[in-house]
Each structure stands twice: as C-alpha cells, then as structure tokens.
C-alpha cells in the first residue's frame, strides 16, 4: 500500500479509503468484518463511514458494525484512521425531530457522542460535515468543533459535498477565530464521468490545504465495465449508472472508454481508480466493496501505472470542464 499526507496535516493515510456504506444494507456483519480485516492486512488504514449509514430505521447500523469490529481487539482501532460524518437526521423512528440533524452546536454535540457510542471508541480522527448547513454560521460550527477537540473526542474536521466558496468561507472563519485548524479534507463526487469538481472544488481544496477524497469513483458502476457485464450476464445497470446510460452521448463515451481499456488490456474499474490517483490534490478515492473480490480489484489499482497514451485517451473520451472562470466565462 502507498500512503500520503491528508492535506496539510501530518496525518498519514492510505491512497485508498475503505468506504463502509454497504455494511449492513448489502453486506452482513460477518462479511463486513472480513472485508475490514482484509483491508487492514493490505495496508488500508483510512476507513470512512457516516452516522446515517444503515439508512431508514437502521440508521447507525454501519457505525455499530465497525464498533463491534474494533471491540475484537488486535490493535484494530489503533491502526485505523477513522472518519465519520454528521448532518443527516438521526431522530428515532424516522421522525424529523428538531435539532436532530444539520450542524447546530447542539446537534454536533449530540451526534458525536452517539457516534462514539456506536463506534465503541473514545475519539474520531476525522469528523466530517456531510453537507452544508445554510442556517448555521461557521462561527457556531467551529465553536462546537473547538470544544470537541479540547475534549479529545475528535482530532480533525473535514467537509463533504461542499462547493468551493463554502470551503473558503469555512476556513476563513476558522482563521479569524485563531487556534482552529479548519477543514483538512473535502469528500466530493469526482470521477472520470463527473469532473465538475475540477472547476472550483478541487482548486479551493488545494489552495486551503485540504485533501480531496473522491466518492463514487466508478460513478455507481458506470466506469466498472458496465456494458461488458451487461453483455455477459444480461443484467441491467441500476442507479447512477442506469441514469447515465440513458443519455446516448454518455453511453457512447462509455463504449469508447471500455474499448480503449480493452485495447490496452486494462480492467475498467481498476483504471478508473488509477486515474483518480494521478489527479492533483487527490488523497485517495473511497472504495466500497461488497465482497472480498471487489476489494482485491481496488487494491490492484494502487500499483497500476497508466501510460501517457491511456491518460490522453481518457481525457479525450471524458474531457474535464477546465478551471474556472475560463470554463464558463471564455
């Protein structure tokens, strides 16, 4: 496994991030524990989750699965850089009860204690804001985070799904307060088929020293060889991939993408991950394996070096928007 610093921090993390969203809803606890063991054995030390994972009436289930895995011992917790998120409503029985969601100081305090209990640990390494909260000032948010850092409950704060201007606002507010490190990472939708983050999110993250953590690196399976899999098994795509394939232009790009990689003897999913690892500012993409085989495929991407010919071909098929303001002004 290869490692890098998380943004401007001294924290060393693996170039792949283990995403756990499938733990509970799609992967049972025993298999989830086996995947985490395999990831740790392979050198992945960066695990990502969220308080709402498990979804619906099972919100929090994913954190509990991870907590039960930590409780097995064997230095599991000490070896893991643990990231979770706060924002979604955690009210009992699906009730959207006031102050059980978003980023008020009250909810942050409540949510972090609940996550710590489910995760069966005394601290969270990276506490991430899952979405922007338009009704809460960053002064209030940082006041709450400062208290949690002082209490030893969290070490770093990060964002997820933030636009570039909110990254700037957050870190400027932190700088004004003094003594607050501010955001150290941004977790955003970023992959070959969805490169809009390159316009402003990635540049803002780089300028403020945030590590970029792409989620959905295969765009819901679209970049994982979806057309070949359909031809071989007859199984239709679903979710994000199905929506994308309904667009004839994007479908044509996926056809060209799979043909290019087939020509060079490359596996699409591995190539898509390897491409992200070449992008400036990227710490590591989040991989969410449902099986041990999917984890093994993701691990191969870390060692995969894409030729200039392949990189140029990928840029031709999936051109990025270019930097702002030129992307939309000139």
Are the beta carbons of 117 and 110 closer than 8 angstroms?
Answer: no
Helix (H, G, I), strand (E, B) or coil at 136: coil
Q: Which residue, among 103, 91, 81, has the nearest Cα to 60 in the 3D structure?
A: 91
Instruction: List, in order, residues 6 or more apart from 278 with CB less than 8 Å away.
Output: 306, 311
Q: Which residue, among 299, 325, 285, has the nearest Cα to 192 in the 3D structure?
A: 285
> Rounded CA gap, 59 and 74, in Å?
27
Beta strands 46-48 and 81-86: pairing type? parallel
Per the residue annotation, which of 53, 127, 190, 208 is the catalytic one? 53
Q: Which residue, among 195, 238, 266, 284, has the nearest Cα to 12 in the 3D structure?
A: 284
127 is annotated as an active-site residue: no
Interhelix angle 248-263/226-233, nearest 10 degrees: 90
CA distances from 29 to 22, 147, 255, 319 (A): 10, 33, 37, 40
Residues taking part in catalysis? 53
């Amino acid at each position: 496994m290869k490692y890098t610093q998380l943004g401007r921090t001294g924290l060393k993390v693996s170039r792949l991030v283990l995403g756990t969203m499938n733990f509970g809803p799609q992967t049972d606890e025993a298999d989830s524990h086996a995947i985490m063991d395999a990831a740790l054995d392979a050198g992945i030390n960066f695990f990502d989750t969220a308080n709402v994972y498990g979804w619906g009436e099972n919100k929090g289930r994913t954190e509990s699965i991870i907590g039960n895995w930590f409780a097995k011992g064997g230095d599991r917790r000490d070896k893991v850089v643990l990231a979770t998120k706060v924002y979604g409503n955690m009210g009992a029985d699906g009730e959207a009860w006031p102050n059980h969601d978003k980023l008020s100081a009250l909810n942050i305090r409540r949510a972090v204690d609940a996550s710590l209990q489910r995760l069966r640990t005394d601290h969270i390494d990276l506490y991430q804001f899952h979405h922007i909260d338009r009704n809460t000032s960053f002064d209030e948010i940082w006041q709450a985070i400062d208290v949690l850092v002082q209490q030893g409950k969290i070490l770093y704060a990060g964002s997820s799904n933030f636009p570039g201007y909110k990254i700037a606002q957050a870190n400027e507010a932190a700088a004004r307060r003094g003594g607050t490190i501010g955001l150290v990472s941004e977790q955003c939708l970023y992959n070959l088929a969805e490169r809009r983050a390159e316009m402003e999110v990635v540049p803002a993250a780089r300028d403020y020293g945030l590590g970029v953590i792409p989620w959905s690196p295969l765009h819901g399976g679209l970049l994982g060889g979806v057309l070949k899999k359909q031809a071989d098994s007859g199984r239709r795509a679903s979710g994000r991939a199905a929506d994308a394939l309904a667009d004839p232009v994007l479908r044509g790009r996926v056809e060209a993408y799979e043909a290019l990689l087939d020509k060079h003897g490359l596996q699409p999913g591995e190539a898509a991950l390897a491409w992200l690892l070449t992008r400036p500012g990227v710490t590591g993409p989040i991989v969410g394996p449902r099986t041990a085989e999917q984890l093994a495929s993701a691990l191969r991407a870390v060692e995969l070096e894409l030729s200039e010919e392949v990189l140029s071909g990928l840029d031709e098929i999936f051109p990025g928007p270019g930097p702002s303001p030129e992307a939309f002004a000139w």
